[in-house]
Amino acid sequence: MSLVLNIENLAFGYSKEKMLFDDFSLRLKKGEIKAIVGESGVGKSTLFELILNNLKPHKGSIFAKRCSQVFQDPYSSFHPSYTLLNQIQDVASIEELDKYLRLINLDATLLKKLPHELSGGQLQRASILRAMLMQPDLLLLDEPTSALDNVIQLEVMQSILKGIESMGVLLITHDNDLASWCADEIITIIR
């Protein structure tokens, strides 16, 4: 299996007195899902910012293949004035749209709507659809199911797992049960 993420000896903090990471390493291969768990403020979302190269580490190295990300709040990840299909086509090919619509159990007619016309669960599925259509090697999931009820949460995670053979998945969650259920490895970040 090919490596999609390799973090070696990462050190980062917003101040030298408060380091979030010191000598942190992580490897992720295609077909794997790893969960990052920990309390609020320990640096879970900051780790994604480092992986996406939005922040620079103080030391260490991060190698990440082509990434896409699913955010916790789907309403903030879509522009309110454009249809979902327009926003998906802006960043991804829709060649395999039907395949992924079936995979995540989303009706194609919903893509012609504006974000506010969908439920939170439907919009989060659309967010996952967009991320998967981008054909990433690495899928970053930042609390993708926290705003969903338990049944929808399970359906959404099952959908993601169906497509995992073509990518590696790094999941941020506060939900230890979810992490235990779906992850090959759980990495706990503590203060």
pLDDT for the residue 147: 63
Which among 181, 175, 187 has a CA at the least distance from the CA of 161? 181
- DSSP-derived 3-state class of residue 66: coil
pLDDT for the residue 177: 85
Tally Cβ neighbours within 10 Å of residue 170. Answer: 26
pLDDT for the residue 68: 93
The C-alpha atoms of residue 136 and residue 169 are separated, in whole angstroms, by: 10
Tokens found for residue 5: 């993420």
Which positions ≥6 away from 72 have C-beta within 8 Å?
Answer: 142, 143, 144, 146, 147
Residue with tokens 């070696």: 8
Tokens found for residue 124: 């989060």
Q: Please report the sign of the dihedral spanned by the C-alpha atoms of residue 129, residue 72, residue 157, residue 141.
A: positive
The C-alpha atoms of residue 13 and residue 61 are separated, in whole angstroms, by: 15
pLDDT for the residue 155: 76
The C-alpha atoms of residue 109 and residue 76 are separated, in whole angstroms, by: 21
Give pLDDT tens digits for 135-149: 999 999 998 877 677
On whether the CB atoms of residues 189 and 44 are closer than 8 A, the answer is: yes
Count of domains observed in the chain: 1
Tally Cβ neighbours within 10 Å of residue 117. Answer: 12
Q: Say which amino acid occupies 37.
A: V
pLDDT for the residue 169: 94
**CATH number, domain at 34?**
3.40.50.300
Write out the residue range of the structural domain in which residue 105 sits: 3-188
Tally Cβ neighbours within 10 Å of residue 23. Answer: 11
Q: Please report the sign of the dihedral spanned by the C-alpha atoms of residue 15, residue 18, residue 23, residue 28.
A: negative
Chunked into runs of 10 residues, the chain (191 residues) has average pLDDT values of: 92 87 94 91 90 94 94 88 95 90 88 93 88 93 78 76 84 87 90 73
Which among 96, 99, 105 has a CA at the least distance from the CA of 124? 105
